[in-house]
Structure 1
Amino acid sequence: MNTAPHTDPKSRFTAFDLSLFKEGKHYQLYGKLGAHLVSETDAQGVHFAVWAPNAEQVSVVGDFNHWDRTANPMGRRPDDSGIWELFIPDRLEGECYKYYIKGYNGYEVEKGDPYAYAWEEPPRTASRIAHLNYAWQDESWLEKQRRTDIFTVPLKIYETHIGSWKRHNDDPTSFLSYSQLASELPTYCKELGFSHVEFMPVMEHPFYGSWGYQVVGYFAPSSRYGSPQDFMYLVDTLHQHDIGVILDWVPSHFPTDEHGLGYFDGTHLYEHADPKKGFHPDWKSSIFNYDRNEVRSFLISNALFWLEKYHIDGLRVDAVASMLYLDYSRVEGQWIPNKYGGRENLEAIQFLQELNEAVHLYCPRAFTIAEESTAWPRVTAPVQLGGLGFDFKWMMGWMHDTLSYFQKDPLYRRYHQGQLTFSMVYAYSEKFILPLSHDEVVYGKASLLKKMPGDAWQQFANLRLLYAFMYGHPGGKMIYMGAEFGQSHEWKHDDGLSWDESLGAPNRGLVAFIQDLNKLYQTEPAMHVHNYDPAGFEWNAIDDAVNSVISWIRKSDEQDDSLLFVANFTPVVRKNYRIGAPKKGFYSEVLNSDNLKYHGSDVLNDAIIETAPIPYHGRTHSLSLILPPLAVIVLKYQYDE
């Protein structure tokens, strides 16, 4: 094997590339830096390029040269880019490699490739030479997304952790591969009616117990589950089932593992040198230096990489609050104020704005979601209007208030009705997604089912009531895997979901209810066309805290399409309960969470219910209803005489 450096490195960089890179505006670095297979008439081999401006010496080491640090030295570009290059004219696809780096300070290390398309399966730490060739079959899906206004469609997200959704029957400790997941997950989500799957981070991470949030290989899907093409096949198959794909993405921090980004060339290249800005005290990880142009190019290139090369439809940006505040999770004296003396991280704000502008410019079919847990203003406002530019934000306040309310004994809910109604005070300050995520079912918090009070029947009734309240509330919807069938124990990343539980009668009823909720959300315009503006919602009655009953109306552009929700948050059946009607005439139940098919007690209203000319709740006509226990009923106007 010829391991001598090639005299012509066949550089992939133009002067324009280098200019953009240094300005922090090169958003396709994944095609320049890293290891790239070359197959031309005059040469076949691999072009390597790595950014290590403060290195004294860099070489490529790998299986192909027996990890000999002297065999394949790289050459520094004759400019100030800090990029080292080498062309090796051999067929090296699939080979493991790293960069040996020697710093001017005597620091010596073997680093994985920050831009590698594939890595060894952990705990091994080398990068792999790989290509991204794949014959996509999802053009019809992509074209539909280009023509779709994401704010007018029903967003129904199923959050999933690939390693623990399901395990092999004969070996519960064994993961499903991407390809095996593709044979089951798309069909399952289609049957339940979800519009999108959101994957917790798939990028390569050394510690499985981090759930993927401690990323080392930003440009590589984890090899635990297969090859890059296997993950492409999973995305492709989901798209062919009309299901979009959202990825959790982590630009807020990275782990300190030696083979990763930290102290890359003997200096703090990707992270801040000062631990008051460069080290996260909660996660014991490094914080990106957003003030460095090349780092912003790295991160924005990475975001666009997943959208362009893997056809991902949306990115949910993790831990945005930790990026926005210099004093996040720090006490006085442990953080450095910005140049104006404030706690806002000005460089992170600029980065997030540039990120969202780049996504919307270069991949306009895609959208971004912020996990932002504070009251930071204008997260979803356009950048040109002073916002961060995200499309959506998780509605963490709604989640905390609602779960707090539902965990209370129904006897005491009358004193806390404001926890249910307060969210509408700020519901349109951002474009929100209502999250019932993985974070709510770990670390002793209990599963959603076990958060609910009462006996087993009441727990399932409460859970159906929670889901109905969520779907009736403005905003996109998201639930975590296992919650759709009422898994009893909290999520454990080392195990698969308890699929045997899904066979129980109340669990099957819950699944049927999720299916019907998703169908109602999809087919009724009032449920989604004005999900993010006040035209789609109106309180009908919120003054009966004594009985823990509230009522509201979801509206579309057609008055006759409106839906009347009535929710009873106690286990008491309420007969002859009068509710103001939006319009006189005849109504019918289009959904009742107490229906027997959902394992409810089957307390239903008549097939057709006529209004009476009795003024109620500011309406000229009203309805006399029977309210089932711990349930929501949804009524739709049918006709008038």
Structure 2
Amino acid sequence: MLKDDLYFFNQGQLYDAYRIFGAHLKKDKKGTILGTEFTVWAPHAKEVSVLGEFNGFQAWVHNLSKVDDVGIWSLFIDSAKEWHQYKYEIKTWDGRTLYKVDPYGYFSAERPEQMSKIYDLDGYYWNDGEYMNHRNNEAPYDHQMSIYECHLGTWMTKPDGSYHKYNEVVDLLIPYLLDNGFTHLELMPVIEHPLDQSWGYQGVGYYSATARYGVPKDFMYLVDRCHQHGIKVILDWVPGHINRDEHGLYMFDGEPLYEYSEEWKRENVVWGTANLDLGRGEVQSFLISNALFWMKYFHVDGFRIDAVSNIIYFLGDSRNGENHGALTFLRNLSTQIFQEFPNALLIAEDSTAYPKVTHPVDQGGLGFNYKWNMGWMNDTLEYFEKDPIYRKYHHNNITFGLSYAFSENYVLPLSHDEVVHGKKSLVNKMPGDYWQKFANYRVLMGMFFTHPGKTLLFMGGEFAQMHEWKDYEELDWHLLQYPLHRAAQRFVHDMNRVVKYHKPLYELDHQPMGFAWIDASNSDQSIFSFVRYAKDSNDFVCVIINMTPLVHHNFRIGVPQAGSFAEVINSDKDIYGGSNIYNGDTMFTEDIPMHGFEQSLQMVVAPLSVTILKREE
């Protein structure tokens, strides 16, 4: 290890730490494997050994040498070859013996084994060159972004209930995404984790694509195939906290190393995890290198950062004060990612009101380019759970979000967190009988796709799954034999295409000139109406949302320009499971001023419906 590398590692500025740490196969000029070099950071250890298939799992055979004063240990073993399992034995100064997987290990033995595996990441032949060239020249903001959040293990299983491998699911998942109009695939964590029910959020192998779905090159193939079809891939990434399993990063060399030394900062009792010390240089080097590792080796397009509130504030509580070391980490992370990948996606799952999360670092921001709009999600779902008769008293739940909708670059999340732990599925949150539940669901979907901001929908939401997400079995695909569920899926399918082919619904998502209320104050009828504009202000659509089961004939609204208007889509059509009340004929404006416009038109507003109107050329 060069002195410069050591210095930058300690300072949190070694952004390819995986080049040094971990198990690296050494080859001669012909590519013949000569053996493996193991390097690990364990400054508090008394002794470090590696045991594996190459030495009969006898730790005394291969003791690592301490190569510097800050606790980096290394050893070359000529008998250690690809696919061999291994782990470190660490002896502490107080007499304990610990067995740990490799923090920088490229692959892992499949659960319940607690081993790393030697693996050669080189040699995959990528076929996404055209996509990558285009990606590097395309900023994300003024394009459609319809994200499908997916848990690979339970999206669809094999007939025997086992998981599809990365390279098997591609022929099922990619056609499904394309058919339903989703542009981005967000994968819940695929780093190695011991417990299926942790969903990947409590990992032990940050550099290891989980073995439960196959080998790392299989995951490369999944990303490659997505890119060949124009689908961007986002990884759910958890830099804030780790699990406390004995074989993981927790107390790696017998004392706090990756985590805080102070117990109150470290122990996240609510989640049963330990918070990483994000202000420590070596931890920053570990994590920033990890993010760049996934982008360089696996071509992922970006990350959704989990639990950012727990990073901004100690234990996620503003009363504990800002975590300045962690804030520095976030700024360094975003700076390095965008320096190497200018059009990457860096999305914060943040429930705080901390300012400038999606502003550039040089403008005083944290450097994310997107943030989940948790306020919109909470207010909207709370509103939709109300009986329509009471919604007029909660009108502000819908209008309030527009007062801050352009303060950050927002993603509207209807994520897995909203359909678990007794919260009910999206359609089951809705009041009323079976028909009204589905009508309310379509209204939610219509508002979701027409509201300023990009969209994220958790799997199963697109066909109105009735049960909450079950993290131990596949989605309820059998529901698609029932007409209302097929109709629900068709509505999401069609809304994705309406957005795709109408610039007003995506081009100015983050700019106030892209949105204007027609009528935000009609609380008595619980009807909301607004205009979405494209960059060309003559290109616009009008959206009318009826939140009650009442029909309104001869309903008059003001519109920005005179002329003829036609329906683009109406959620009450029978093909979507509705009562088939819609505006079939062209509507012509009249010179009757209304809602601040010089002209208006009359229309029928269907019960519990979303209607989009467009001016005809």
State the TM-score bracket (shorter-chain normalisation). over 0.9
Structure 2 residue 181 is the aligned partner of structure 1 residue 193? yes
Preserved contact between residue 180 and residue 493 of structure 2 (Cα < 8 Å): yes
Q: 1:63 aligns with which of 31, 36, 53?
A: 53
- The match for 2:289 is 301
Q: Quote the offset at 1:43 in angstroms.
A: 6.8
Q: 1:96 aligns with which of 58, 66, 85?
A: 85
Preserved contact between residue 370 and residue 392 of structure 1 (Cα < 8 Å): yes
Preserved contact between residue 308 and residue 348 of structure 2 (Cα < 8 Å): yes
Structure 2 residue 232 is the aligned partner of structure 1 residue 241? no
Query: What is the SS of the residue equivalent to 1:381?
Result: coil
Q: Quote the offset at 1:542 in angstroms.
A: 1.7
Preserved contact between residue 145 and residue 454 of structure 2 (Cα < 8 Å): yes
Q: Deviations over 1:72-110 (max 9, x none)?
A: 111111x33421111111351101101111122222111
Preserved contact between residue 167 and residue 222 of structure 2 (Cα < 8 Å): yes
Q: Deviations over 1:410-432 (max 9, x none)?
A: 11111111111100000011110
- The match for 1:10 is none
Amino acid at match of 1:439: D
Q: Deviations over 1:143-189 (max 9, x none)?
A: 111111100111100000111101112x13x1111112111111100
Amino acid at match of 2:213: Y
Aligned-partner Cα distance in 2 for 1:557–1:253: 41
Structure 2 residue 136 is the aligned partner of structure 1 residue 153? no
Aligned-partner Cα distance in 2 for 1:55–1:184: 48
Q: Percent identity?
A: 43
Structure 2 residue 309 is the aligned partner of structure 1 residue 326? no
Preserved contact between residue 155 and residue 475 of structure 2 (Cα < 8 Å): yes
Aligned-partner Cα distance in 1 for 2:272–2:158: 33
Structure 2 residue 571 is the aligned partner of structure 1 residue 593? yes
Aligned-partner Cα distance in 2 for 1:80–1:532: 51
Preserved contact between residue 33 and residue 81 of structure 2 (Cα < 8 Å): no
Aligned-partner Cα distance in 1 for 2:422–2:33: 58
- The match for 2:425 is 447
Aligned-partner Cα distance in 2 for 1:308–1:503: 42
Structure 2 residue 125 is the aligned partner of structure 1 residue 139? no
Q: Quote the offset at 1:557 in angstroms.
A: 2.2
- The match for 2:243 is 255
Q: 2:279 aligns with which of 279, 291, 294?
A: 291
Matches within 5 A, 1:509-520: 509-520=487-498
Aligned-partner Cα distance in 2 for 1:183–1:43: 34
Task: Provide the aligned C-alpha RMSD in A.
Answer: 1.3
Aligned-partner Cα distance in 2 for 1:365–1:396: 24
Query: What is the SS of the residue equivalent to 1:125?
Result: coil
Q: Quote the offset at 1:287 in angstroms.
A: 1.1
Preserved contact between residue 359 and residue 367 of structure 1 (Cα < 8 Å): no
Matches within 5 A, 1:41-440: 41=29, 44-77=34-67, 79-90=68-79, 92-133=81-122, 134-169=124-159, 171-172=160-161, 174-328=162-316, 343-440=321-418
Query: What is the SS of the residue equivalent to 2:357?
Result: coil
Amino acid at match of 1:559: S
Gaps of 5+ in 1: 1-12, 338-342
Q: Deviations over 1:358-386 (max 9, x none)?
A: 11112223120001101111111111122
Matches within 5 A, 1:448-597: 448-597=426-575
Q: Deviations over 1:323-372 (max 9, x none)?
A: 11125369x8xxxx6xxxxx111111111111111111122231200011
Superposition misfits of 4+ residues, deviation over 4 angstroms: none
Aligned-partner Cα distance in 1 for 2:182–2:64: 49
Amino acid at match of 2:146: K
Aligned-partner Cα distance in 2 for 1:64–1:111: 17
Query: What is the SS of the residue equivalent to 1:149?
Result: coil
Preserved contact between residue 464 and residue 513 of structure 1 (Cα < 8 Å): yes
- More divergent stretch after superposition (188-197 vs 56-65): 56-65
Preserved contact between residue 307 and residue 313 of structure 1 (Cα < 8 Å): yes
Q: Quote the offset at 1:198 in angstroms.
A: 0.5
Query: What is the SS of the residue equivalent to 2:130?
Result: helix
Matches within 5 A, 1:602-641: 602-639=580-617
Amino acid at match of 1:253: H
- The match for 1:340 is none
Aligned-partner Cα distance in 1 for 2:76–2:229: 42
Aligned-partner Cα distance in 2 for 1:327–1:245: 29
- More divergent stretch after superposition (488-497 vs 514-523): 514-523
Aligned-partner Cα distance in 1 for 2:248–2:223: 27
Q: Deviations over 1:285-326 (max 9, x none)?
A: 111112221111001111111111111101000001011112
- More divergent stretch after superposition (205-214 vs 103-112): 103-112
Q: Quote the offset at 1:15 in angstroms.
A: 2.8
Gaps of 5+ in 2: none
Preserved contact between residue 57 and residue 102 of structure 1 (Cα < 8 Å): yes
Query: What is the SS of the residue equivalent to 1:109?
Result: strand
- The match for 1:7 is none
Q: Deviations over 1:251-276 (max 9, x none)?
A: 11101111111111122111112211
Query: What is the SS of the residue equivalent to 1:150?
Result: coil
Aligned-partner Cα distance in 1 for 2:538–2:277: 54
Q: Quote the offset at 1:547 in angstroms.
A: 0.8
TM-score, scaled to structure 1? 0.94
Query: What is the SS of the residue equivalent to 1:607?
Result: coil
Aligned-partner Cα distance in 2 for 1:164–1:157: 17
Aligned pair in 2 of structure 1 residues 327, 57: CA closer, same or farther (>3 Å)? closer
Aligned-partner Cα distance in 1 for 2:112–2:289: 27
Query: What is the SS of the residue equivalent to 1:484?
Result: helix
Amino acid at match of 1:164: T
Amino acid at match of 2:65: G
Query: What is the SS of the residue equivalent to 1:276?
Result: helix
Aligned-partner Cα distance in 2 for 1:489–1:66: 49
> Number of residue pairs matched?
614
Aligned-partner Cα distance in 2 for 1:365–1:378: 19
Query: What is the SS of the residue equivalent to 2:517?
Result: strand
Preserved contact between residue 575 and residue 627 of structure 1 (Cα < 8 Å): yes
Aligned-partner Cα distance in 1 for 2:343–2:611: 36
- More divergent stretch after superposition (99-108 vs 291-300): 99-108
